[in-house]
Amino acid sequence: MNYRVLGKTGLKVSEIGFGAEWMPGGDAQAVREVTRAAAAAGVNIVDCWMADPAVRRVLGDAVCEQREQWIVQGHFGSTWQDGQYVRTRDMDKVVPAWEYLLDCFGGHIELGLIHYVDSTAEFAEIMAGPFIDYVRAERAAGHIDHIGLSTHNPDVALAACDYDDIAMIMFSLNPAFDMLPPSEDISTMFAEHYSDDLSNIDPRRQELHHRCEERNVGLAVMKPFAGGRLLDAEKSPFGVAMTPVQCIDYCLARPAVTSVLAGYRNVDELAGCVAYETATDWERNCGRVLSHAPAHSYFGQCIYCGHCQPCAVGINIAEVNKFYDLARVHDEVPESVAGHYAALSAHAGDCLDCGCCERNCPFGVRIACRMEYAAELFGY
């Protein structure tokens, strides 16, 4: 296992991390087996945002078997209310949830993350109020070593880079979220295959990598497989399947990226990710896969580019589509995805079916239909 320094934290973290989102709270033995196997493979960073107390306890027990080996990411603001995950800034809910998480990991957590901030306005409120005061107090008390942030929004992440005490950022990164069309001209958009250098990356996301590198803010990656879509040719927006090794290599090649917190539910899936460490350059190369993607692979597929906006009722269509795609690769909607969807200011069920977005979409996505499907899947 190779290790990288996580920005100004100075912590050496394994390139392959443990995104423990799919660990079952009711099967302590299964969690223990995966955690032990990850540690044996040299994995030393684990993320625990999950709000379910049962999941926190069994994962904490498993990690605490070898607590000195692990660097733990815990989240402020991820809570369990009335049997479900709720992201909140209500300190009456934040504090007890955090204290329980802290107890699960032996009273100390290396990285305390401000949980899931996807609005610059919300980020500004957090950094000027009691929420960040509490986080900083926990650091001063020695309960955490470093402050971090989790977000899907590059603008929020860029704003976070301006704060000296935010040492690292957990950010969603993969080719499906990064790529933009080679051209906005519909007549030429599908004329070329992807280039081997994968240069068509959203400018703000590209800027984030360079800002983090410049200011020594470490990036830890979440959603490297786009919820499994990139591993399935039928669900991938590129029309071809990538391997876990190729997805991981894509992430680790980006500036400031230190660890890919891959999700694996069992030892076999862990092995598929750790295989990156012994893979050949040919096996790692994702450019050779995407460069042979069908020229029409964009058509009919949402790549979350945002060209469909604005929406008459304020739906963030790209985000709804992203959460819908993440949810439908599972038998049941994951709590995390349901929570992220609930946090949106407008939802798929608010769609007026006016058709403006479809006229703007350069990829022929049937957006109104997808809003209908998403509303049915999420319930609103």
The tens digit of pLDDT for each residue in 22-75 reads 788 889 999 999 999 999 999 999 999 988 899 999 999 999 999 999 999 999
Same domain, 181 and 326: no
**pLDDT given at position 174:** 87
Same domain, 268 and 323: no
Say yes or no: 348 and 276 in one domain. Answer: no
Quick one: 334 and 260 in the same domain? no
Tokens standing for residue 209: 């990598």
Which pLDDT does position 257 carry in this prediction?
97
User: Does residue 311 fall inside a structural domain?
Assistant: no
Q: Are residues 281 and 321 in the same domain?
A: no
Q: What is the pLDDT of residue 179?
A: 62
- Non-local CB neighbours of 187 within 8 Å, separated by 6+ positions: none
**In angstroms, rounded to a whole number, what is the distance separating the alpha carbons of residues 225 and 244?**
7
Task: Verify that 188 and 276 share a domain, yes or no.
Answer: yes
227 and 329 both lie in a single domain: no
Question: How confident is the model at residue 192, as a pLDDT?
Answer: 42
| Residues of the chain falling short of pLDDT 50 | 180-198
In a domain, 16, yes or no: yes
Residues 110 and 252 reside in one and the same domain: yes
Contact present, 235 and 273 (Cβ < 8 Å): no
> CA geometry: angle at 142 spanning 139 and 147, to 5°?
30
Any domain includes 280: yes
Q: What is the pTM of this model?
A: 0.81
Q: Looking at residue 15, what is its pLDDT? A: 98
Which domain range does residue 351 map to? 317-378
CA–CA separation, 45 vs 17, rounded Å? Answer: 5
- From the number of C-beta atoms within 10 Å of its C-beta (0-12, 13-18, 19+), residue 355 rates as exposed
Alpha helices in the chain (DSSP H): 28-40, 53-64, 91-104, 120-126, 130-140, 154-160, 175-178, 203-215, 244-252, 267-274, 281-284, 287-290, 317-327, 335-342, 356-360, 367-378
Whether residue 309 is contained in a domain is answered as: no
The whole-angstrom distance between residue 147's C-alpha and the CA centroid of its chain comes to 18
Q: In CATH, what number is assigned to the domain containing residue 211?
A: 3.20.20.100
Same domain, 280 and 334: no
pLDDT at 194: 40
pLDDT per residue as tens digits for the range 262-297: 989 899 999 999 999 999 999 999 887 777 766 555
